[in-house]
Amino acid sequence: MLAWLSKNIFFPLWEIKDGAQRQKYLRELCATQWLETEVLQQQQWERVQKIVEYAFTHCPYYRSRYASLGFDGKLRSWQDFRNLPILTKRDIRDNKANLLSEAFRREELVSAKTGGSTGTALTLYFDQQCQELRNAAAMRSDRWAGWDIGMKVAAIWGNPPVANTFKKKLRNVLRDRVIYLDTMDINDASIQRFIDCWRRERPRMIFGHAHSIYILALSLQRLKIRDLHPEGIIATSMMLLEPERCVIEAVFGCQVTNRYGCEEVGLIACECERHAGLHLNIDHLIIEFLKENGTEAEPGEEGDILLTDLLNHGMPLIRYRVEDRGVPSNRKCGCGRGLPLMERIVGREADFLKRPDGSLVAGVSLVERTLTAIPGIEQMQLLQNDLHRLLVRVVPDSHFSEATQSNLQNELQVVFGSEMVIEIQIVSYLYQTSAGKYRFAVCNI
Ligand SMILES: [Zn+2]
């Protein structure tokens, strides 16, 4: 009953109060997802022409940088677009004021900070319409996982927002309908409180950081709690490791929807109900995969991800190097949606560890492989502060033995070479970032 009221009464009322149009945008996006890929790409082409011209006209940074290259702001072909310079995190940090559109006053824009756990903290600005469209795109893909407006959800991540005013509490009860587990504070008592709350409130979806959901799943397994059955789980904000996905799905008895997004542009890609790759949000973005030599990665090949935001007029981001790596795809998804697929996210650039000879090792993939190959490891984190030294933090499980440790040592020695000093530390938890996320591999060199 409350779910119905929330969806049909409270949510629309809040929209009117906020002057927002998310429900209208959601309806539009739910329709466009079924368009042919070529139609969506044509729409993408029209939008990119507009945003590039807009940036050239209204943002001093693009105006001077593009003009110095002899570009007049008018795209005539996709090749023109691919010739545009790449925007780095450093460019954003050094030119923040000049990247903002002169058409907005600063106070009209919504700002957000990126975590900076990979080194460069950024402040970004969005216009209001962009925010609402982004929310609608996230809601569209939430629906692929079984969610609907008004449905009660459990959110599992670090530092959840605290409903500290009557207004926020009311909004949570009537509209957002969320129960939280703060993964910055996981212990038997907080898990038990969460389970009690779950049994009372009966949420139907789980949202959370992939590894945080995994930690909850492990606790439930240990406590032999078997009655927490959501209809869907959305794992976001960090890499979902295959071995962790298996544990989560077994404990909760439903499939995990893997999602990729970032603070800078919102939702980038998400699995649909087929779970066969991630559909790219090309309504709102151009997503490029670039190899080291600057050419486009072929389907199945790894590349650096560049993002062009087709929505944000407050602070346009054009060919922004987000410092993540992923694999494009040319497969068609059986669901019939026109949104193209990417195969997977490989990790952040800062997750790549270095061998003593300077060559790179994809840290997250290595952790994923090791968790599958060596029994006895519940969680693992690789930290590198020195070219010749690797610290491995291991949370053991009940199968842990001396063989676990020696197998792990051997495996890593083969990957990094005999010159690498590998130190294994047995610990009871992994470090989290200040935002409550986990990083499986951290290279500080
Ligand atoms: Zn699909």
Residues 337 and 402 in one domain: no
Q: Find the 332 Cα to ligand 1 centroid distance in Å.
A: 8
Half-sphere exposure in the Cβ direction for 87 (13 Å, CA): 25
User: How many whole angstroms separate alpha carbon 345 and alpha carbon 325?
Assistant: 6
Q: Find the 249 Cα to ligand 1 centroid distance in Å.
A: 19
Residues 336 and 378 in one domain: no
Domain boundary among 329, 346, 363: 346
Query: What pLDDT, on the 0 to 100 scale, is given for residue 39?
Result: 97
**Which run of H or E residues covers position 443?**
strand 441-443
Name the phi and psi angles at 341, rounded to 5: -105, 155
What would the pLDDT profile of 105-140 be if each residue is shown by its tens digit? 999 999 988 765 555 678 899 999 999 999 999 999
Q: Find the 144 Cα to ligand 1 centroid distance in Å.
A: 9
Q: Is the pLDDT of residue 292 over 80?
A: yes
Residues 413 and 317 in one domain: no
Q: Find the 344 Cα to ligand 1 centroid distance in Å.
A: 14
Q: Find the 135 Cα to ligand 1 centroid distance in Å.
A: 20
Give the three-state DSSP class for 3: helix
Query: What pLDDT, on the 0 to 100 scale, is given for residue 178?
Result: 81
Q: Find the 238 Cα to ligand 1 centroid distance in Å.
A: 21
Q: Are 121 and 303 in contact (CB under 8 A)?
A: no
Q: Find the 340 Cα to ligand 1 centroid distance in Å.
A: 9
The band of 179, judged by pLDDT with boundaries at 50, 70 and 90, is confident
Greater confidence (159 vs 149) lies with 149
Q: How far, in Å, are 206, 267, 306 from residue 158 at the CA level?
A: 14, 20, 28
Q: What is the mean pLDDT of residues 314-339?
A: 96
Rounded (5°) CA angle 334-340-346: 105
CATH number at residue 390: 3.30.300.30
Query: What pLDDT, on the 0 to 100 scale, is given for residue 11?
Result: 66
Least confident of 14-23, 283-292, 416-425: 14-23
Q: Find the 279 Cα to ligand 1 centroid distance in Å.
A: 6
Domain boundary among 346, 364, 399: 346
Report the mean per-residue pLDDT for the chain: 89
Name the phi and psi angles at 207, rounded to 5: -115, 140
Total number of domains constituting the chain: 2
User: How many whole angstroms separate alpha carbon 368 and alpha carbon 346?
Assistant: 11
Q: Is the pLDDT of residue 431 over 90?
A: no
Read off the DSSP letter of residue 280.
E
Q: Find the 285 Cα to ligand 1 centroid distance in Å.
A: 18
User: How many whole angstroms separate alpha carbon 162 and alpha carbon 442?
Assistant: 30
CATH number at residue 314: 3.40.50.12780
The band of 170, judged by pLDDT with boundaries at 50, 70 and 90, is low
Residues 278 and 368 in one domain: no
The band of 385, judged by pLDDT with boundaries at 50, 70 and 90, is very high
Identify the burial level of 276 via C-beta atoms within 10 angstroms of its C-beta, where 0-12 means exposed, 13-18 middle and 19 or more buried.
middle
Domain boundary among 346, 370, 399: 346
Residues 160 and 62 in one domain: yes
Residues 286 and 155 in one domain: yes
Q: Find the 206 Cα to ligand 1 centroid distance in Å.
A: 20
37-51, 120-134, 341-355 — most confident range: 37-51
Q: What is the mean pLDDT of residues 44-72?
A: 97
Q: Find the 361 Cα to ligand 1 centroid distance in Å.
A: 31
Q: Find the 274 Cα to ligand 1 centroid distance in Å.
A: 6
Q: Is the pLDDT of residue 50 over 70?
A: yes
The band of 188, judged by pLDDT with boundaries at 50, 70 and 90, is confident
Its pTM surpasses 0.85? yes
**Which run of H or E residues covers position 211?**
helix 210-222
Nearest by Cα to 32 from 127, 102, 169, 133:
133
Detail the DSSP E strand segments found in 331-388: 341-348, 352-354, 360-362, 377-386
Q: Are 18 and 129 in contact (CB under 8 A)?
A: no
Q: Find the 283 Cα to ligand 1 centroid distance in Å.
A: 15
Query: What pLDDT, on the 0 to 100 scale, is given for residue 432?
Result: 82
Residues 377 and 298 in one domain: no
Q: Note down the domain range covering 403.
A: 355-443
Residues 326 and 420 in one domain: no
Q: Find the 321 Cα to ligand 1 centroid distance in Å.
A: 26
Q: Are 210 and 432 in contact (CB under 8 A)?
A: no
Residues 46 and 12 in one domain: yes
Q: Find the 339 Cα to ligand 1 centroid distance in Å.
A: 8
Residues 369 and 404 in one domain: yes
User: How many whole angstroms separate alpha carbon 7 and alpha carbon 23?
Assistant: 10
Residues 406 and 322 in one domain: no
Q: Find the 443 Cα to ligand 1 centroid distance in Å.
A: 34
Detail the DSSP E strand segments found in 166-244: 178-182, 205-209, 232-236
Least confident of 94-103, 122-131, 358-367: 358-367
Query: What pLDDT, on the 0 to 100 scale, is given for residue 130?
Result: 93
Q: What is the mean pLDDT of residues 220-245?
A: 91
Q: Find the 70 Cα to ligand 1 centroid distance in Å.
A: 41
The two tokens of residue 194 are 């969460």
Torsion region of 190: left, alpha or beta (phi above 0 gives left; psi -120 to 50 gives alpha): alpha
Residues 189 and 316 in one domain: yes
The band of 154, judged by pLDDT with boundaries at 50, 70 and 90, is very high
| DSSP strand pairing (377-386 vs 441-443) | parallel
The band of 419, judged by pLDDT with boundaries at 50, 70 and 90, is very high
Q: Are 259 and 267 in contact (CB under 8 A)?
A: yes
Q: Is the pLDDT of residue 74 over 90?
A: yes
Q: Find the 331 Cα to ligand 1 centroid distance in Å.
A: 10
Q: Is the pLDDT of residue 193 over 70?
A: yes
Q: Is the pLDDT of residue 58 over 60?
A: yes
Q: How far, in Å, are 46, 322, 336 from residue 62 at the CA level?
A: 19, 18, 38
